[in-house]
Amino acid sequence: MASRRQSPFEDFIEVTSKLPWKTGVGLAIVSYVVLHVMAGMHVQQPTSAANMGTYAGKQFFLIFAMIGQIVIPFALLLGSLVSFTRQRKCQKLYKSVEQHTHSTTAKPSAMQAVERMTWQEFEMLVGESFRQQGYTVKETGGGGADGGIDLQMTRNGKKYLVQCKQWKTYKVSVKTVREFFGVMVDAGAVGGFIVTSGVFTSEAISFAADKQINLIDGDKLLKIINGTIPAVTPSELDTPIDSSPLCPRCNSPMVKRTARQGSNAGKEFWGCSQFPKCRQVVNTH
């Protein structure tokens, strides 16, 4: 069955719900004041048939302002309420896990709390963890249960992306990290984070080692929430990732690698980030 298409009113609420709730309330107040003033404006009757079109347009705008002064602030306040409720839930999830990390059975108890969460709750927990680190976090709602960019963040005017993987059984593979790196480059992000409740493969860790990608497994996430370690040091993700070339075959970002065998062993080259799907290589010189 096809999903029901949302009305503009519902879209308005959804967009506002992704903003900080105080911002939504502020916009509601401003929109009411502006539209209320417009709704009170007087429109002069037309003096000739030539002015009828202008008069009709002004009348339409006046009606819109009269209705909008109620509907738009109301939608903004509803979106703000959703945002406020989500924020409180994020804080509650964070505090719950934080308390578990300080219990006598710290790690098992905290990890069980994380693993019992739905993937939506896990994203909320991760988002709140970064807020506690000083990031401004926006939930994109585009990740779903298995992929995509779940959070967009800014700090000190710089943009970061986050992908959440609440995988209890599977290890996060190098393929996931490669694809995430490509999205980072396309989005012009300074850096990014992949956060999982599980672990990463050795290939994924090796791939991310020389890039602006911070891999956070379940154990590291608990330490961040506990306050034992920061999510990232200030200088760790400061270098922009705009220097890598694009693959001449598939137009994906290329990554610098070192040949391990053959006549070129030890030499660096650019390899496509979509390997093994694309095996294009380019010399570094």
- Report for 22-36, 95-109, 175-189: range of highest mean pLDDT: 22-36
Domain definitions of the chain by residue range: 8-93, 102-226, 254-283
- Report for 68-77, 141-150, 177-186: range of highest mean pLDDT: 68-77
Q: Which candidate, 43, 47, 69, 70, places its Cα nearest to that of 57?
A: 43
- 70 has pLDDT over 50: yes
Q: Is the model more confident about 72 or about 260?
A: 72
What pLDDT, in 10s, does the model give residues 197-210? 889 999 999 998 88
Instruction: Using pLDDT thresholds of 50, 70 and 90, give the confidence band for residue 141.
Output: low
- 276 has pLDDT over 80: no
For the domain with range 102-226, which CATH number is right: 3.90.79.10, 3.40.640.10, 3.30.360.10, 3.40.1350.10?
Answer: 3.40.1350.10
Q: Is the model more confident about 59 or about 162?
A: 162
Give the residues across from 160 on adjacent strands: 153, 191
Average of pLDDT values for 72-82?
A: 93
Please state, as a whole number, how many other Cβ atoms lie within 10 Å of the Cβ of residue 261. Answer: 7
- 240 has pLDDT over 70: no
In percent, the amount of the chain with pLDDT more than 70 equals 86
26: exposed, middle or buried (Cβ count in 10 Å: 0-12, 13-18, 19+): middle
Separation of alpha carbons 20 and 151, rounded Å? 14
pLDDT at 163: 93
Average of pLDDT values for 153-158?
A: 87
pLDDT at 103: 64
CA triplet 267, 273, 275: central angle to 5 degrees? 85
pLDDT at 249: 76
Q: Is the dihedral of CA 173, 179, 184, 190 positive or negative?
A: positive
Contact yes or no for 176/169 (Cβ under 8 A)? no
Q: Is the model more confident about 175 or about 264?
A: 175
Instruction: Using pLDDT thresholds of 50, 70 and 90, give the confidence band for residue 236.
Output: very low
Averaged pLDDT score across all residues of the chain: 81
Instruction: Using pLDDT thresholds of 50, 70 and 90, give the confidence band for residue 211.
Output: confident
Instruction: Using pLDDT thresholds of 50, 70 and 90, give the confidence band for residue 235.
Output: very low
